[in-house]
Amino acid sequence: MTRTIALSDEAYEKLRKLKEKTGASSYSELVSMLVEEYEKSLVNKLKQLLSELKLSDKEVVELEKIVNDLRSRRWF
């Protein structure tokens, strides 16, 4: 199934250029790549924050439960 989305000319040009640079075969592939990178960046930010915190083992377990719950959601 396909969907139609509206983009400004500026956003379209950015996507078009990025599609060329990445070698994505379609805009769907490009958007999927961008979403995956966004999700990875969120995880990396969380990892960095966690490395700066001093958590007990119990707090780590609780935080892992929260992260797993967030991962199971379809949105962030």
If you average pLDDT over residues 53-71, what whole number do you get? 84
pLDDT in tens, 2-34: 899 999 999 999 999 999 999 999 999 999 999
CA distance 67 to 11: 32
Of residues 33 and 72, more confidently modeled: 33
Of residues 73 and 36, more confidently modeled: 36
Q: Yes or no: say if 49 and 28 are a contact pair by the CB < 8 Å rule.
A: no
CA angle 17/22/27 to nearest 5° reads: 65
Closest CA to 76 of 31, 29, 42: 42
Q: How many folded domains does the chain comprise? A: 1
User: Has residue 76 got a pLDDT over 80?
Assistant: no
CA distance 68 to 45: 16
Residue 26 lies in domain: 9-72
What's the mean pLDDT when you consider all of the chain?
89
The length of the chain is 76
Tell me the whole-structure pTM to 2 decimals. 0.64
